[in-house]
Amino acid sequence: MRAFISILIAAVTVTATPDALAQSDTPIEGTLRSASFVSNDVDACVAFYRELLGYAVIGESTITAEKSRQVVGAVGDNKVLRYVSMAPAGWTIENPDLRAGVSFIQIEGAEPTPFDQDGARASRAGELILAHRVQNIAEIARRAEAMGVPIVAPLGKSGSGKSTSMAVLDPNGVRVEMYEY
C-alpha cells in the first residue's frame, strides 16, 4: 500500500532583512530542525530513510496532548497512532541543531494530498523536495533499485556537472534528491 503525506511543520533558517529590522530592534532567526510529515505508513518511511540515507530513529512516542494534536492536524476522531523522529549520521543530543532530521506522524484516516501522483510528473507549487548531500551514491542507487523505490531521475551527472545525482520518491511520494560531490 502506498503511503501518503501532507506537509506538516517546517521551519527555515531566516535572518531578518534590514527593512524588517527597522521595524524592530529584536532580530529574528530560525534554524530548520526537522521536516515532519503525516503518513499512513511510518514503518515504510523509517525503513526508507534508514536504508538509503543512514538515518537513525532518535525518538518515538504517541501524541496525546490536545495542543500537540492540534499542531499535527489530528482533528475529530482521527487518532495519532505514533510519532517517530529520525536524524542523519552525526546528530548528537549535545548538539541537536547540528543537522536537520525528519519525523513522521502516523494518523488514522490521513488522506492523500492532491499532488500525490505518478513520480514522473512535474513538481507543483507547495510540493516538498528534500535535497541531501550523500556519500556512496552508486550504492544508494543499487539499494533503491533492489528495494523497488521509484527512481524519478536516474543516477548520472548533475546539471552543473559538478556532482553525481539522482532523485527518488520516498514512501510518502516526497521527491528525495541526492548529490555526491
Kindly list the distances between the CA atom of residue 25 and the CA atoms of 20, 28, 30, 120, in Å, as whole numbers in the listed order.
Answer: 9, 10, 16, 47
* Domain assignment of residue 121, yes or no: no
Q: How does residue 135 score in pLDDT terms, banded at 50, 70 and 90?
A: very high
Question: Is residue 35 a part of any domain in this protein?
Answer: yes
> What whole-number percentage of the chain has pLDDT above 70?
69
Residue 174: pLDDT over 60: yes
Residue 76 lies in a domain: yes
C-alpha cell at 147: 528495494
Predicted local confidence at residue 15, as pLDDT: 52
Residue 157 lies in a domain: yes
Query: What is the pLDDT, as a whole number, of residue 47?
Result: 95
**Is residue 11 included in any domain, yes or no?**
yes
The range of the structural domain enclosing residue 58 comes to 5-111+127-180
Residue 166 half-sphere exposure toward CB, CA atoms < 13 A: 23
Instruction: Give 67-125 pLDDT, tens digit per residue.
Output: 666 777 676 666 667 889 998 877 777 776 667 788 888 877 676 654 444 555 566 66
Predicted TM-score of the model (pTM):
0.73
For residue 51, what are the contacts with CB-CB under 8 A and spacing of at least 6? Answer: 143, 147
What's the Cα-to-Cα distance from 98 to each of 56, 59, 90, rounded to whole Å?
Answer: 15, 17, 8
The span from the CA of 130 to the CA of 124, in Å, is 14
Residue 106's CATH number: 3.10.180.10
Whether 122 maps to a domain, the answer reads no
**What does the pLDDT read at residue 30?**
74
Say if 116 falls within a structural domain: no
Q: How many domains does the chain have?
A: 1
